[in-house]
Structure 1
Amino acid sequence: MSLLMTKTMTELPLARRMARLGTETAFEVLVRARALEAKGKDIVHLEIGEPDFDTPRNVVDAGIDALNKGFTHYGPSAGLPILRQTIAEEVSKTRGVKVTPEEVVVVPGGKPIIFFTMLALADEGDEIIYPNPGFPIYESMINFVGAKAVPIPLREERDFRLDVNELKDLITDRTKMIIINSPQNPTGGVLTKQDIADIADAIGDRDIMVMSDEIYSRLIFEGQHHSIMSLPGMQERTILLDGFSKTWAMTGWRMGFGVMRADLAAHIARLATNSVSCTASFSQMAGVEAIKGDQSSVAAMNKAFLERRDFFIKRVNQIKGFSCRSPHGAFYTFPNITKTGWPSKKLADALLDEAGVAGLSGTAFGSFGEGYLRFSIANSIENIAKALDRIDEWTKHRL
């Protein structure tokens, strides 16, 4: 037997930066849930943030038509001109500002905008303020690029809207970026028009960029969506993150976009060239139809999510140890479980293993998520009812 064959495998020499990289727990829990299903256990999936609806038929047909017409080749790293123009027109209309195609970058999903923007703007030691609990990739990417992650707590007593007075105290000379997300994942909190104005006032004339994650902007239950990009003097300091996955149930099409000042957009496109090359051309043509075509599917999904939200909130508040405010947007609920006496991660694991309900620990979204669980209501009322029945039964035996 050769020496090569008998040599013991050495420890993988990973770069030190990999130790700073986090994850998105929803996908890890999904894997665990699928493994339990493979063993015959029935699982209700309330963990993954994905609409349970199919992509609208007109959008699918546009994608098929694009494939048949040869949209199967490389495109520009910043996106096809027709989609960038369509996005520019839509954002101009919905945010009340003038946007040009040169300010739009189309990428495979929303996460590249988070990653590329931080790579382009944040040096080691720079500070980035981010919501906590919040989308876990914010903190992961801040740490990965070597910047300092500065959490701003989102508290239940404020309907999970950030406290602008706390924000003022966190801003320093090292603050390079502030991340805001409304409607918010995981809490469903929505910033008011006054909140947005107060955030802009807190920034003042400082040279601070705002990443405004508005991926759920069309999924709102009460009131209206307000973008900080719309405020005077803020457009050139705002990086708008949006996409197609949530609004049009296009998660598998992998398509998001950023809107930002043109000089920054050129650098983000260069990062795309060096990493993903471009976004699939046929997906982009489907994206044009999603924006320009019939919007009845968006309204139908919103109506369904609202019905599910109301059903979930009424029912979960009847379960021992659980209490939950009504989220104002997105398709998540964030019940408080402190009265159960269980830590969030331990309770989430127990509900999966023992009750067959897949949800997420609040701590999957940051340390300030302790005492909460996140459940996606992107599932049928029948399945949501089954999940809540199981949780109710579990609490009667375990609490």
Structure 2
Amino acid sequence: MPPICRGFSDALPCLFSAAHPGMPARGNPAKGNRCVFCNEDWMEEACRTPRGRHNITRSLKAFRAHYEKRSFVYNTAMTRVPEEWHGTFHEAALQGRRGPARKHTPVETQATAATEKWGQHLANRKRAFKHLRSKEVTAYKKRRTADRSRVAKKFFLDNDLPAPQPSDVAPNDCGLPAPTTSDRAKFVELWCKLGSWGICEKCRSLQPRPLEPIDSRRVAKATITAKTCKQCRGKHWVPQPSEIPQPLRKLNGKLIEALRPLDIDVGPHRQAGNGYRIHSAMVRFSWSELGVQAKIRKLRNRRQREKAQAAYDYLMTDEAESSYRDFVKKHNKFLRKFPGATDADRRRPLQFIETVGLECALWPSLYWCAEMCETTERATDSRRLAAAAAAGRNEALSDDEDDEQEGQERHSIKRSFMRKVLSPIIGYGQDFELLQFVYDLTMWSRI
């Protein structure tokens, strides 16, 4: 009598009989009396050969044929397949000789179309900095896999339920199945994934969309018209990737630090239990110990030195509408006057945070024009100008960020920064130092 598969573990018996899905399959004595789905090493080995992949596909087709009554068999089998082969085996199982692929419902058809449209429009969003390194991409993929596994374990495996068949619309989706109670529930979930945001056809900025009754009957389009876009309707300028000066494009973190005449101190690094970084101190600034040219020469890579030098040369010309060169001149003057300055001597006072155009010296690839800066937005507010011009008046002036009146002269640091975060330029929301700077500048203005 042929041996029966021992199962993946004592708590996870085998379910993978091709003839009787849900019953144990035959075990291979050479593989520890386990089947291919209960032996991780055998599964990895089988996926590397055409014959092994053929046998796995044949079994998955058999499980798929009984999906209506025993969906847990197919879903559990797919969890045993390596992640990089999920799409290949799933597609092959649907197109097998046991029957044509299941027809998509209107909900799924709309979701597929909306996902494709989102992919096309999101391709227009460009990174201001250099692309992530392979190590950073690998680390992100590991965190994503761990998050998906944690969700499946919490809601299914810990409750003695089979692993779910994911209903994902993006690579960073949660890996959970779609709702099955009604089409309305499916549409509401798709609003969370695809309809809660829209991208403007004209300025390509993102804009949140509220949940409306019609969203329970259809998937919203990826785009919104210029008439419904806040930025276009208010005639606000939105930065575009093509507007970034060529010498300032694709600069990595090391080059940005070398180009800075100032050092940034955001306080000690403290992490919350849920993973978010804590605001531990107000941002402080100090003149760099070395001049910008000296920092560029210290870069090890020749190409990096050339790229940093090209960016520096551009920023120091009159062609650049940046206040960068003013800070570099002040920095060089300080170094000549105080050649042996200590850390305390180089540290700037707290009110230095409100210096107009400061962002141009700290993030030149994001703020290539002095008029873009949040410090400029703050300094040119009509309320602040009126208070400064009034003789003998010394009343506190707060930057009321909750005021939704967007007049031409009433400026808001929060609205100005969020306009950039939601623009097609990716980078404003990923720099913790910039986020803390804007937060501290807003609080400084309120106080």
Q: Is this a same-fold pair by TM over 0.5?
A: no
TM-score bracket relative to the smaller structure? under 0.3
TM-score by length of 1: 0.22
TM-score by length of 2: 0.20
* Structure number with higher relative contact order (C-alpha < 8 Å, ≥ 6 residues apart): 1
Structure showing greater Rg = 2
User: Whose strand proportion is higher, 1 or 2?
Assistant: 1
